[in-house]
Amino acid sequence: MTKVSILGATGYAGAELVKLILQHPNATLTHITSESHTGQALADVYPHMRGITDLTLESMDNLEAIAKDSDFIFIALPHGHAMAVGKALADTQVRIIDLGADYRFSDTKVYEAWYHVPHTHPDAASVYGLAELNREAIKSAKIIGNAGCYTTASILALAPLVKNHLIQTNTIIIDAKSGTSGAGRSAKLDTHYPEFYDAFKAYGVATHRHTPEIEAALGKLNGSPIMLNFTPHLVPMSRGILATAYANLNEGVTPNAVSQAFEKAYATEPFVRLLGRNAYPNTKYVRGSNFIDIAWHIDERTGRVIVLSAIDNLVKGAAGQAVQNFNIACGYEETTGLKLVPMYP
């Protein structure tokens, strides 16, 4: 059994991760932390955990002791915290999977420009944790920077087109919608029920921090830098992301070439479900699962391809993807603990 600890177990992604690790046949959960609920039983903070775990929440002040009792530490904390943990544990054998943004960028200057805080662990040899793209590097990584939720939906939607140079990359526009759990568990005016119910709005236009993450991953596939537009929206539901990506097709690219690119890229991927051309992914059909559903449409009138993708932001977009990376890093079957049938209705 691989010993696992979770820092930040009372956020939505952290609680989802607890659930997945508790049912993982090859992992044992040794420590969970929360600075706001230290000393409380997790089941008192999250009543749905009653009868499932009797673990008590600790403080990160005990990091050294936690590390000695862990093979892997998952960090489900806001940006700015994981780099301190990674630096403190740099000389240990503990491997880290960060669900935040601290280790997603190979160029820490990009992180500093978009997150407006100094990166205190710039020499970390971290790997970007999007399994479908970086599987080999993840296997031996000491620090894995789990991909973000919007970015997972967006990058996987566009990766086959960019990699095969089927689109004009300077025409990419991504329009994405997320449920409110993506904003975290802390009380905020924008996610206060009377404010978000029966409402639909954009936010972070031209400034959202997932933009450079998407650009970096797609730029690597493209072989040259990519600049794109990304606009997120908030919708009145708890879980789910639907991303719609637009781009102009290169001259001579046929609908069949687009279909072949997707089929070749994802034919053996266990969590990518290709719905095919002219289909419509729906967040309801991936809810509670680690699947991403992808479909594409060709607008022959404008010469554009339109790609749609749907994920559960807390599973494939966060905790599920972290466990997928954990399985790869440990050499376990990639689907271990993740054979989750979507919740329906």
**Distant-in-sequence contacts of 115-120, Cβ < 8 A, 24+ apart:** 115/79, 115/80, 115/209, 117/79, 117/80, 119/83, 120/83, 120/84, 120/87
Looking at residue 291, what DSSP letter applies?
-
Backbone angles phi, psi at 327, to 5 degrees: -60, -45
Look up 330 and say whether it is catalytic. no
Identity of the residue numbered 122: P
- Burial track 152-181 (b if 16+ CB lie within 10 A, e otherwise): bbbbbbbbbbbbbebbebeebebbbbbbbb
Backbone angles phi, psi at 12, to 5 degrees: -60, -45
Catalytic residue among 42, 73, 141, 149: 149
**Residue 252, both tokens:** 């001579």
Q: What is the largest CA-CA distance in the chain?
A: 63
Q: Which are the catalytic amino acids?
A: 149
